[in-house]
Amino acid sequence: MLFLWLYMFYSCAGSCAGLTTRGSPAPPRAAPPLSPLLPGEPGEDSSLEEQRAALDAGSPISSFFNGSGTKRLPQAIIIGVKKGGTRALLEFLRVHPDVRAVGAEPHFFDRNYERGLAWYRDLMPRTLEGQITMEKTPSYFVTKEAPARISSMSRATKLIVVVRDPVTRAISDYTQTLSKKPDIPTFESLTFKNRTTGLIDTSWSAIQIGIYAKHLENWLLHFPLGQILFVSGERLIRDPAGELGRVQDFLGLKRIITDKHFYFNKTKGFPCLKKAEGSSKPHCLGKTKGRTHPDIDQEVVQRLRDFYRPFNMKFYQMTGQDFGWD
């Protein structure tokens, strides 16, 4: 019926508009004026044709015909941390009908910033009114320039950080590298500048990433604490529905993702989805997730725990959350 109505409407627009009193010439019609754009809106300094295109692109009738909505810059970004559980969180969130997310990591604010916001927006999925556009790139959290760049895009951007015991995270980081480069030095040798003195090598990225308090200080120069949600990687495994509940609240979404969406995979050791986005089949993260960690000298593990303890305490104070990593 809708298509029939539209057909009749446009047919009439071409023929009915020309009907006048018999014998009377049809008066000339002026083109409808273009609605003025507010300062700062797309097309402010563009040509008349560009303004019309910008307006048409966002019109409901245009969205109806292309059937896929509009590409928008992300309103929320998972900014970190590497090996914290960011992929799991993104896959879980994509089950929500009001979340649309990029699958691959764009790395815009750390590696591709010179390409510009138009390039970045073109990577985003199309969304309908009321849906949230998201992306995740864990390296943003430790990239010095990222906070200012994201703030420049939009100060209203909501940020999500998935954090995990920094010692376990460092070992997981090393395990991933080891799977790609089997000939790298041992974890123990990379941990110390000098093992005899016990001096930790904070220049090694696997160690440096876990100093969360240091990185958070940089973000708080550009975003208020209330605009950043800290997700526990450990709780994401133990109670995925509980953590997803917090995330949905933070994003202003209805709590649709609940316990019924998950089952625990004993082989992998973490929760999986009963049904993935756009599928009726169960879905677990790939074989690159949940790798078995190598045995690490327990003395080295303890030294790392001692090293991270003051940074963890400061991070707890800054966030108002005790993650229980000691």
How confident is residue 111, by pLDDT bands cut at 50, 70 and 90?
Answer: very high
- Gap between the Cα atoms of 237 and 234, Å rounded: 5
Domain ranges of the chain: 70-181+205-295
Summarize the annotated binding site for 3'-phosphoadenylyl sulfate as residue ranges: 83-87, 164, 172, 289-293
Write out the catalytic residue numbers.
Answer: 83
* Residue written as token pair 């110390």: 192
Q: Is the pLDDT of residue 115 over 90?
A: yes
According to the model, what pLDDT value does residue 197 have?
A: 85
How confident is residue 287, by pLDDT bands cut at 50, 70 and 90?
Answer: low
Summarize the annotated binding site as residue ranges: 83-87, 164, 172, 289-293
**Average pLDDT value over all residues in the chain:** 82
Q: What percent of the chain has pLDDT over 70?
A: 75
Q: What percent of the chain has pLDDT over 90?
A: 68
Topology given in CATH for the domain delimited by 70-181+205-295: Rossmann fold (3.40.50)
Instruction: Return the minimum-mean-pLDDT range out of 3-7, 157-161, 185-189, 303-307.
Output: 3-7
Q: Is the pLDDT of residue 108 over 60?
A: yes
In sequence order, what are the beta bridge partners of 265? 270
- For residue range 288-314, list pLDDT tens digits in order: 555 688 899 999 999 999 999 999 999
How confident is residue 218, by pLDDT bands cut at 50, 70 and 90?
Answer: very high
According to the model, what pLDDT value does residue 290 have?
A: 58
According to the model, what pLDDT value does residue 308 have?
A: 98
Q: Do 126 and 175 meet the contact criterion of CB atoms below 8 Å apart?
A: no
Instruction: Return the minimum-mean-pLDDT range out of 6-20, 71-85, 106-120.
Output: 6-20
How confident is residue 208, by pLDDT bands cut at 50, 70 and 90?
Answer: very high
- For residue range 231-279, list pLDDT tens digits in order: 999 999 999 999 999 999 999 999 999 999 998 887 777 799 987 666 6
Instruction: Return the minimum-mean-pLDDT range out of 25-29, 121-125, 137-141, 180-184.
Output: 25-29
